[in-house]
Structure 1
Amino acid sequence: MSHQEDLTAYIAAFVAELSKTGVKDVVISPGSRSTPMALVMAEHPDLRIHIQVDERSASFFALGIAKATRKPVALLCTSGTAAANYYPAVIEASISRIPLIVLTADRPHELRDVGAPQAIDQIHLYGKNVKWFVEMAPPEKTEEMIRYARTVCGRAAATASSYPQGPVHLNFPFREPLIPIMDENMFELPERVGGYVEIETGRLSLSDQTFASISEDIASYTKGVIVCGQLDNSEFTDEVIALADKLKFPIIADPLSQLRSGEHDGQHIIDAYDAFLRNEEAKAALKPDVIIRFGAMPISKALTIFIKENRTARQFVVDSGAGWREPTMSASEMLYCDEALFCKKSARLQEQQASLTICKNGSPSMNLPKNS
């Protein structure tokens, strides 16, 4: 069996699996060593190929697609400093929790650390900024290695997509010749339908008992604030608006929260907080008993100071990624739960508690909104 047959079968299996995982968009920065992967990807009927010559531009272009679609995007480049130019976007993807599958071509092992052109150390190139790194095995057309290529691909897509979402890095060593044997049947896979590894990801949640306890605690406070930072969750906006309506709490909305515009009427949204939180009288008037926080820490320094100054308030930080987005050291509880789900269940429990209060007392125990 020739080297080119090994190369073609191995890469075709990987690319076919990439499509089966749900990846639709591939951004390619053209280069010599990545030629076999690029050519095979271009032949796949279900992949949208975007060519961006400049690697830095390409990486942020891919980042934008992934952020808009909330689905992993594959990013391909050749060996050497081309891969290094992806670094800023990889860091951004890591911090912003955006799914990227970074594919870097590399020199084979015998051409590393011997002065070969366009050869740098690409092992763990992006350090802790990726969720997972794999140095791929050299291409072979054996049943075991085809299964290996597909399994790694499935795991990479699942890792990038699972919460917290983020980038993964696969490094492919390719030997010359780099031209694959193009065949219209190269994407035909064995009888098994779907991927070799079927991975289901779900949303983090809390137990019903914990939800009930937290809901009861929140209901005991009459003066609260909801703080929303950057958060890419299509369901979150409607659910947090509904929760704010039930609680009669204002929402301090960061520019990246996606709450400052939309179909809602905006009556709960505070967007000019950076200005009035610098005013002592305004801060005193807003002083909360409880703060519920979602998403990344907002960029406003005035808001950061406000949160620190209210450490005596009960502060809940809700995070679907089970991370630690808490630079103020003011949180009372870290709640690892999907943000939209938390709002939905909490709003429902608040409504139930209000109904019980009406039944017992004849009137609702809540602050009614004032007419503006």
Structure 2
Amino acid sequence: MKKFTLKSKIVTGVVVASVIGSSTFAFANTNAGTQFTAWGQTQINAAKTAVQTDLAGKLATQQAAISSKAATDKAAAEGRINQAGTDEKADTKTKIEDKLAAHVASLGTALQAFLAAIGDDFDTLVSTSNSNTTSTLNHQYNQLNTDITTVLNAAKATNVNSVTEQSLLVKGKATADLIIEINRVKSELAARVNSEKATATTEVTNHLTSEVARINDLLDSLISGLETNAKADIAAAGLAVETSAFANFERVINLIENNNPIKVDKQKLTVSNNLTPDGKIKWSVENKNEFDIVYKWKHVSSEAGGVQETVYAEGRANADRGESVFYTSPSDKNGKVIIEWLDEKGNKQSAEMNEPNNPR
């Protein structure tokens, strides 16, 4: 077959041109480069559109994945915070009850020591005629940031309040149990003392007593920080009640030297109220007992209420003990507040007071 060379193409073109030139017909003056440029630009634009369409789909997928992970991590952190609250309540209760058991055991040991030695003590008293003995005890990231911060801070606040209230109830019960046990061993010892005294009545003149990836990385960091802060605040709330409870045990124990049984004096726990400038009612509970008193309060009309304590104000004069306050909104009529606490026998005691301008 004969090859068609460039030279033959040129010759052919010249022949064609001469034919066209001698003809009465004329072709349009079309520029091949212009047409190719238009075609090429169309291909490029189509490719760009395909890239952008593909990117938009992938971006939407990744955004959905980020939101899903953030929601999952947020829920998981909230669950861990709630669990931390539950664990702290159980831990606080265990620590307070363990401390109470230790005190009760020490009281039993002290009592047995007294009982073992009291016979010899009275023999000494009889032989010497005049002996006394005594003894003395804390655009998307910003949207997700706000949502997560609100949820986790709310979880923290809920758990801190729950830990504080539940721990205060445990503290109140434990304090009452300690008073009951102290009074029991004092009563038992007094009975034994009187029994021994009866056998030596003619020789005894004194009384014997005892005591007794970028966004994901940012979100992970945010969640971790908020979770750590929440757990720290929850633990601090439990520790604050534990520390307060142990200090209150010491105050009660220091009252063992008193000849009279330890009691929660209702006359030393007073309730008062007054209207504040912003229209609220301020309720004050003043405690002049020599140890903290935990109490529950309830506003009868609104069903509002809570658990609080009147803290013993150490170092102040006897007439100036601790005071705690809470606020309610005035009711339409017959509004009053009832408070309840445990006495020295573990029995519930209560007091009630009408709102201002609602006399009985």
Q: TM-score, normalised by structure 1?
A: 0.20
Greater helix share, structure number: 2
Which of structures 1 and 2 has the bigger CA Rg? 2
Larger RCO of the pair (alpha carbons < 8 Å, separation 6+):
2
